[in-house]
Amino acid sequence: MPDAEPDLSTRLFSHIDFTNGAVAAVSGGSDSTALLLLLKQHLDRTEPSARLLAVTVDHGLRPGSAAEARAVAKLCAERGVAHRVLAWSGEKPSTGLPAAAREARYRLLASAARAEGIGLIVTGHTLDDQAETVLMRRERSDAAREEGRGLAGMAPATLHDWRDWIVRPLLGVRRHALRDYLRRQKVGWAEDPTNADEAFERPRMRATLAGEAGAQRMNDALALAAREADVRTRLGAEAASLVERFASQPTAGLIRLDPALLSAGDDRAAVYALRILLATSGGIALLPDQARSEALLVRLKAGFLCATLSRTVVDFRRAGIFLRREMRNLPATVAAVDAAIWDGRRQITLNDASGTLLIAPFGAAAAKRRVVDRGEAPPSLVRAALAAEPVSRQAVEKTGPAPDWPTSQGFAAVPVVAPFARFLPSFDLAPARAVAALTGATPPPASPLRGHSAG
């Protein structure tokens, strides 16, 4: 507890690299307020030149939210901390409001971090939040079937949009300990009434944990999270090793798996690697269903096949097992937008902003006219992969050799690792790195956690 550990801030933050500063998400509640004061104490003592920016996101969902933001601004002014208030504007959804608010909060925090040239966001999620998260996921039958992925809880660090790290240093601290610390500091905090509104899932779980058997339930949830986080990290490392050993990319959009993968050892790791590669090839944010992926592995072990899962064609031939985007439901011709994600698979970077550039799938008819030679890959599969790649509309009409990737006329199309492009938990850093290296995606930035097993 903080009152028994005067150097609590050292224990909480000494393993985090603050070289490029930090954005602290501060709502004005007890957890984030304690986070701010403890982080300021740590930086003043260990890295006084590191930049610290407190950001309050006003979701505009309650009448008192603006006053709470002003209270945070006052506290920051008293402590010499730079502060910004960012508002979530626009229409609010009638359903799924907590999830939408969370998405908006991370988007706004990231925008503030980028504006300041800071790549690290620090949040005040606590041990209580972790227990609630794990128990909520355990009660959802779909999470329980996900081989422990959801039951690992919140990761100590998560990469947002493949560029900004979100770190949660308070995951091992109870909320009541943080409140004791604030009382000793004679600092108050705001109470969000929605935290007690049992119309929402998390407050209902919070009320359950406050009950008679709450302490035991919390201990059980945290033990479960620790076990599953370890399993998830080890499974990811094994899957990464399989990708590195058995996967290659003969051409953009076409992944070849050596059939030796099917007898390489642990089927769980093979299934996990296959799920990540299927989602990446198909441009799908969610990994394909566990049971269907296991059935696909069984079918692959039985011999040659051609099947489709998660918008990806799986084609097992003598030359190997090939994965490519299926031709159905490709994007229509659209005006190119810089930094946009095309088909969940390619990030577009415009090279020439002088005029409107139209981007379209290359198309099967145009691909048939191209001369292709990619060694180990059958020409028909190279053309099929080419047909699903983005090109400028003018390039479709030209003949000759296949265009070089990832560049095309007027823009570059860089691969993204679709299932981790939005949020990459540090549990999954090893397989994400392996798939990025395989496909030519930009490598994820190094983890800010010193000594992190995957970082």
pLDDT in tens, 108-163: 999 999 999 998 999 999 999 999 899 888 887 554 445 568 899 999 999 999 99
Q: How far apart are alpha carbons 235 and 254 in whole angstroms?
A: 25
Phi then psi for residue 63, to 5 deg, are -60, -30
Q: Does the CA dihedral 93-95-98-104 come out positive or negative?
A: negative
The tens digit of pLDDT for each residue in 195-221 reads 665 566 777 777 777 777 778 888 999
User: In which order are the strands placed within the sheet that holds 120-122?
Assistant: 82-87, 52-58, 22-25, 120-122, 164-167, 157-160, 423-425
**CB-based contact 362:388 (threshold 8 Å):** yes
pLDDT of 97: 79
Q: Domain residues of the chain, as ranges?
A: 2-124+169-210, 246-326+423-439, 334-415
pLDDT of 453: 44
If DSSP codes are grouped into helix, strand and coil, which group holds residue 251? Answer: strand
Q: For residue 101, which of 191, 195, 171, 204 has the smallest C-alpha distance?
A: 195
User: For the domain with range 2-124+169-210, which CATH number is right: 1.20.1260.60, 3.40.50.300, 3.40.50.620, 3.30.450.90?
Assistant: 3.40.50.620
pLDDT of 193: 64
Enumerate residues 6+ apart whose C-beta is below 8 A from 66.
Answer: 58
Q: For residue 41, which of 20, 14, 70 has the smallest C-alpha distance?
A: 14
Sites in the chain below the pLDDT cut of 70: 1-6, 61, 141-148, 193-200, 352-355, 371, 374, 393-409, 451-455
pLDDT of 38: 97
Q: Are strands 120-122 and 164-167 parallel, antiparallel or unpaired?
A: parallel
47-69 burial, b at 16+ Cβ within 10 Å, e below that, comes to: beebbbbbbbbbbeeeeebeebb
pLDDT of 5: 47
Write down the H helix ranges in 14-151. Answer: 30-46, 65-79, 97-115, 127-139, 141-144
Phi then psi for residue 194, to 5 deg, are -70, -20
* Residue labelled with tokens 């415009």: 350
Q: How far apart are alpha carbons 313 and 322 in whole angstroms?
A: 8
